[in-house]
């Protein structure tokens, strides 16, 4: 089955839920209204359906390969990336001053989903480049910005993020890569970095590595980490002393080369004086590297959440197509027509609706987060910028954590819909399950997102931000109850129950976070899943309001009816999970620590 971009649902999310008209009123985004968005999404759909999506299965069968220090990507990737760059897709959200198109994240998010649905492995290269560009826009000097950003925006160069080392995974305090100052103001970098996505490839002429390292004499821990630009190829055309020594053999995203990079092994004899050490350039100030890298990490975390939505959409489309075509048995009510597919079976319908509701709920949440990001950066009022920034930061761990965890559920259900055929690689659905598995791990595991949600987003301000979000949800409940329809009233009731469970957990986190942090953090992931479920359900409730109020306002009536049905299903089948999650957090902390360690 070929991929078809869900342009109508994406337009609904950014227009009706994210408020694209309001985004287009922000300074600099005046030309980014619905007409522009529709044209951009239509072209993104065409390009990705025709050029990128056909390479997805090829990339799984013929992964990137490594030989003698060089990486060769899947056949067709290099040509597709050149078309991607020449069409301007890499620069979609980046400033016009550097060659980009300057469109808001609200539109960019939708294009990012389409690209990742088409081919998750391919999309990882632009994702990392976007993050590198954002980091340099925030922390790079004017000279660095001019030297690197236009080339990356044009797709002539790509970017990579170098954090992890063999002894330093999520604990960046353990980073040991060292940077030695040079008389000319540059540094020489020595160390090993692992799990570097697109750290070496053949799709662009240069790779701009952003590398965390320690300068001699720097403080221990995260306070002593600096950020450096280390280009693969130096300005004079010589090869820098950074080399790929291997790439990983992975469960999924096989076409995306995950590199082990060695900095300063002395093999680049063409460097000045033949001395070893990769030439690097300090970004910003020494010992501030982690703060700068967090810009790139936050951009990547949001983008990974969108990847989860994207792979869920692709798995859902695959499952629907199979369920329509696969003839097997008769439905229990005897209503299966002759030759009717398994889509008539009630449990298959339940699985498909679960997949659809989770995907649409996460999509809506990501769209609303994107609009908050745009307002946080472009709104003329400082208070509005601050409020939107806080809301966006609250949503990022939910977009990343909840969307990726649910993508696993959706991809697993897609395999289940296929039955035994889903376990056969040739069917193609297993690839989505395997590809989705990394999403809850890289750019910070679900537990890391959950810890961030507790520490920075909930307990730091005594739960004020979390309660403010709950107040907005309560206002939507009132709108739903006032609307009067049976579906609206049902969603309002379910939403209210879930919101109250959320508030109980917020109170628990604030109180126990002070007296017994271990008990609070033991429930961190259930708290994240509860919050993500609630916020996605909130957006589904808002979608229902729109669909019931405007069924004949030039919209596709069948589409609007489906919106109402999906929102009702989410309320009936997904939102009730919040009660069990509340119980696990509030009542379950003791049982987590009850087992003696020696008993494991």
Extract the tokens encoding 28.
């600099």
Extract the tokens encoding 304.
């990974």
By C-alpha distance, which of 114, 237, 108, 94 is closest to 155? 94
SS3 content of the chain, % helix, strand, coil (to 5): 60, 10, 30
Exposed / middle / buried, residue 25 (Cβ in 10 Å: 0-12, 13-18, 19+)? middle
CA–CA gap between residue 355 and residue 410 (Å, rounded): 5
DSSP letter assigned to residue 441: T
CB within 8 Å of 565: residues ≥ 6 apart: none
Q: What angle do CA 584, 587, 593 make, to 5 degrees?
A: 85
By C-alpha distance, which of 493, 477, 495 is closest to 537? 495
Question: Is the C-alpha dihedral spanning 506, 510, 511, 516 positive or negative?
Answer: positive
Exposed / middle / buried, residue 86 (Cβ in 10 Å: 0-12, 13-18, 19+)? exposed
By C-alpha distance, which of 206, 302, 198, 311 is closest to 255? 198
Distances (CA, A) of 562 to 14, 114, 192, 335, 547: 18, 21, 52, 21, 9
CA–CA gap between residue 493 and residue 160 (Å, rounded): 46
Residues 432 and 414: beta-carbon distance below 8 Å: yes
3-state secondary structure of 442: coil
Question: Is the C-alpha dihedral spanning 579, 527, 444, 116 positive or negative?
Answer: positive
| Strand segments (E) across 114-263 | 157-162, 178-181, 187-197, 206-215, 226-231, 242-247, 258-263
3-state secondary structure of 96: helix
Extract the tokens encoding 556.
């596709």
Give the DSSP letter string of 116-136.
Answer: HHH-HHHHHHHHHHHHHHHHH
- Our answer to whether residue 443 is catalytic in this structure is yes
Exactly one of 313, 360, 443, 548 is catalytic; which is it? 443
DSSP letter assigned to residue 336: P
CA–CA gap between residue 73 and residue 401 (Å, rounded): 29
Distances (CA, A) of 401 to 231, 352, 464, 538, 572: 32, 22, 21, 17, 22
Q: What are phi and psi of 307, to 5 degrees?
A: -60, -40
**Residue whose pair of structure tokens reads 């910005």 in the numeric block:** 145
**Straight-line distance from the first to the last Cα atom of the chain, in angstroms, rounded to the nearest whole number:** 45
If one counts every other C-beta atom within 10 angstroms of the C-beta of residue 537, the result is 28
Q: Residues with catalytic annotation? A: 443
């Amino acid at each position: 089955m070929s991929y078809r971009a869900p342009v109508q649902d994406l337009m609904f999310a950014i227009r009706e839920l994210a408020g694209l008209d309001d985004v287009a009123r922000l300074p600099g985004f005046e030309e980014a209204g619905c007409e522009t968005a529709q044209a951009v999404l239509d072209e993104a759909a065409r390009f990705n359906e025709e050029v990128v999506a056909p390479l997805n299965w090829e990339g799984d069968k013929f992964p990137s390969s490594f030989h003698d220090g060089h990486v060769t990507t899947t056949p067709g990737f290099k040509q597709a990336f050149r078309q991607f760059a020449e069409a301007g897709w890499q620069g979609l959200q980046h400033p016009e001053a550097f060659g980009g198109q300057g469109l808001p994240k609200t539109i960019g998010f939708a294009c990012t989903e389409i690209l990742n649905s088409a081919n998750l492995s391919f999309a990882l290269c632009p994702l990392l480049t976007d993050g590198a560009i954002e980091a340099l826009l925030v922390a790079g000097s004017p000279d660095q910005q001019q030297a690197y950003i236009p080339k990356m925006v044009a797709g002539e160069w790509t970017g990579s993020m170098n954090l992890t080392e063999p002894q330093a995974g999520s604990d960046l305090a353990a980073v040991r890569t060292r940077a030695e100052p040079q008389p000319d103001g540059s540094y020489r970098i020595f160390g090993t970095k692992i799990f570097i996505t697109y750290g070496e490839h053949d799709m662009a002429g240069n790779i701009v590595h952003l590398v965390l390292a320690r300068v001699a004499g720097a403080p221990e821990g995260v306070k002593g980490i600096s950020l450096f630009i280390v280009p693969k190829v130096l300005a004079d055309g010589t090869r820098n002393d950074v080399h790929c020594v291997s790439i990983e053999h992975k469960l999924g995203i096989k076409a995306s080369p995950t590199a082990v990079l060695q900095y300063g092994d002395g093999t680049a004899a063409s460097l000045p004086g033949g001395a070893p050490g990769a030439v690097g350039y300090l970004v910003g100030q020494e010992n501030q590297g982690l703060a700068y890298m967090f810009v790139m990490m936050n951009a990547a975390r949001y983008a990974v959440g969108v990847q989860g939505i994207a792979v869920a959409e692709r798995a859902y489309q695959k499952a629907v197509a199979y369920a329509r075509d696969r003839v097997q048995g008769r439905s229990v009510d005897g209503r299966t027509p002759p030759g009717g597919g398994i889509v008539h079976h009630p449990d298959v319908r339940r699985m498909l609706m679960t997949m659809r509701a989770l995907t649409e709920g996460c999509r809506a949440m990501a769209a609303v987060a994107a609009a908050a990001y745009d307002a946080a950066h472009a709104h003329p009022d400082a208070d509005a910028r601050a409020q939107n920034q806080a809301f966006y930061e609250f949503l990022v761990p939910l977009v990343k954590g909840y969307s990726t965890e649910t993508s696993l559920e959706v991809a697993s259900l897609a395999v289940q819909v296929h039955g035994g055929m889903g376990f056969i690689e040739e069917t193609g659905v297993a690839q989505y399950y395997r590809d989705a598995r990394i999403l809850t791990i890289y750019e910070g595991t679900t537990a890391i997102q959950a810890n961030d949600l507790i520490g920075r987003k909930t307990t730091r301000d005594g739960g004020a931000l979390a309660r403010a979000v709950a107040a907005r949800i309560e206002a939507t409940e009132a709108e739903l109850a006032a609307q009067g329809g049976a579906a609206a009233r049902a969603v309002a009731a379910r939403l209210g129950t879930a919101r109250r469970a959320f508030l109980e957990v917020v109170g628990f986190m604030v109180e126990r976070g002070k007296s017994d942090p271990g008990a609070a953090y033991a429930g961190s992931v259930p708290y994240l899943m509860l919050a993500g479920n609630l916020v996605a359900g909130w957006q589904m409730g808002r979608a229902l309001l729109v669909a019931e109020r405007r069924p004949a306002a030039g919209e596709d009536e069948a589409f609007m009816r489906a919106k109402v049905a999906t929102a009702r299903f989410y309320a009936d089948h997904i939102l009730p999970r919040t009660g069990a999650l509340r119980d696990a957090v509030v009542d379950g902390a003791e049982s987590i620590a009850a087992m003696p360690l020696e008993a494991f």
